[in-house]
């Protein structure tokens, strides 16, 4: 069903009994549709559907100004949420990067991931470097593996250049990751104990 935009419903109310709020948001209780419409006309207000999936549905009497302000607020919120999801930061470096420089870059990536940004990493394969660029991608992911995963896996975009995009893990993925880490650690501890016994 099409979600209609926030606004006045006029006389089109499909429900017989409504829960009505006044323009200050205070409850006037449940009333028949005809009574709600009478109130609306008496006060020169508009009836706005607030919550449809409750019984009885909730309507609020509002002024045109209130509706306008609420529409602006909702539009702002929508803009903010779609913007927040799409911030993408970029970093690029060569595979001959020094160890401490790579650490600095990885810290920067971790910082961006925490802010829920997508991070695009591009690595150029240096001629005089014997470090494979794909090993660098793995190294970076390993360092931030407690919070990040690949949005798009490392791939070569042209000869000697690879790229990948990292994103923040969802709560579900984080829980799975933590569980796997715990199992890995308990397995390591068990092996350690076995060694001590046998020696």
Q: How confident is the model at residue 118 (pLDDT cuts 50, 70, 90)?
A: very high
Q: Between 128 and 153, whose confidence is greater?
A: 153
Q: pLDDT-derived band of residue 186, with 50, 70 and 90 as boundaries?
A: confident
Question: In the prediction, which pLDDT does 61 show?
Answer: 95
Q: Name the CATH superfamily for 88-171.
A: Translation initiation factor 3 (IF-3), C-terminal domain (3.30.110.10)
Q: Which CATH number fits domain 17-76: 1.10.10.10, 3.40.50.2300, 3.30.1860.10, 3.10.20.80?
A: 3.10.20.80
Lowest mean pLDDT among 4-18, 38-52, 156-170: 4-18
Residue 2 has pLDDT above 60, yes or no: no
Determine what percent of the chain is predicted with pLDDT higher than 90.
57
DSSP 35: H
Q: What is the pLDDT of residue 16?
A: 93
Q: What is the pLDDT of residues 159-171, one digit of tens each?
A: 889 999 999 988 8
In the chain, where the domains are located: 17-76, 88-171
Could you give the percent of the chain with pLDDT greater than 70?
89
Q: Cβ distance 137 to 107 under 8 Å? A: no
Q: Which two tokens stand for residue 127?
A: 């001629």
Report the phi/psi class of residue 91: left, alpha or beta, with left for phi > 0 and alpha for psi in -120 to 50. Answer: beta
pTM: 0.52
pLDDT of amino acid 110: 94
Bridging pattern class, strands 58-62 and 46-51: antiparallel
pLDDT bracket for residue 24 (50, 70, 90): very high
Q: Which residue has the tokens 């999801």?
A: 85
Q: What is the pLDDT of residues 11-23, one digit of tens each?
A: 778 899 999 999 9
Dihedrals phi, psi of 133, to nearest 5 degrees: -60, -30
Closest CA to 122 of 95, 92, 155: 92
pLDDT at 87: 82
Residues in a beta bridge with 122? 92, 163
| pLDDT at position 53 over 70 | yes
Task: Give which of 164, 124, 127, 129 is closest to 148, Cα–Cα.
Answer: 164
pLDDT tens, 61-117?
999 999 999 899 988 888 777 665 568 899 999 999 999 999 999 999 999 999 889
């Amino acid at each position: 069903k099409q979600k209609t935009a926030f606004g006045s419903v006029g006389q089109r109310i499909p429900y017989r009994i409504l829960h009505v709020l006044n323009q200050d948001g205070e409850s006037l209780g449940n009333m028949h549709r005809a009574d709600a419409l009478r109130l609306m006309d008496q006060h020169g207000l508009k009836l706005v559907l607030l919550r449809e999936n409750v019984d009885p549905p909730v309507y609020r009497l509002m002024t045109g100004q209130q509706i306008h302000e609420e529409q602006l607020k909702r539009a702002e919120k929508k803009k903010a949420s779609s913007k927040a999801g799409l911030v993408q930061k970029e970093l690029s470096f060569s595979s001959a990067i020094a160890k401490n420089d790579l650490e600095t870059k990885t810290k920067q990536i971790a910082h961006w991931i925490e802010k829920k940004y997508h991070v695009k990493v591009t690595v150029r394969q240096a001629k005089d470097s014997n470090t494979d660029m794909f090993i660098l991608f793995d190294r970076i992911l390993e360092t931030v593996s407690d919070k990040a995963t690949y949005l798009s896996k490392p791939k070569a975009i042209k000869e000697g250049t690879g790229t990948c995009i990292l994103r923040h893990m969802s709560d579900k993925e984080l829980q799975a990751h933590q569980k796997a880490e715990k199992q890995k650690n308990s397995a390591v501890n068990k092996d350690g104990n076995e060694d001590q016994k046998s020696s």
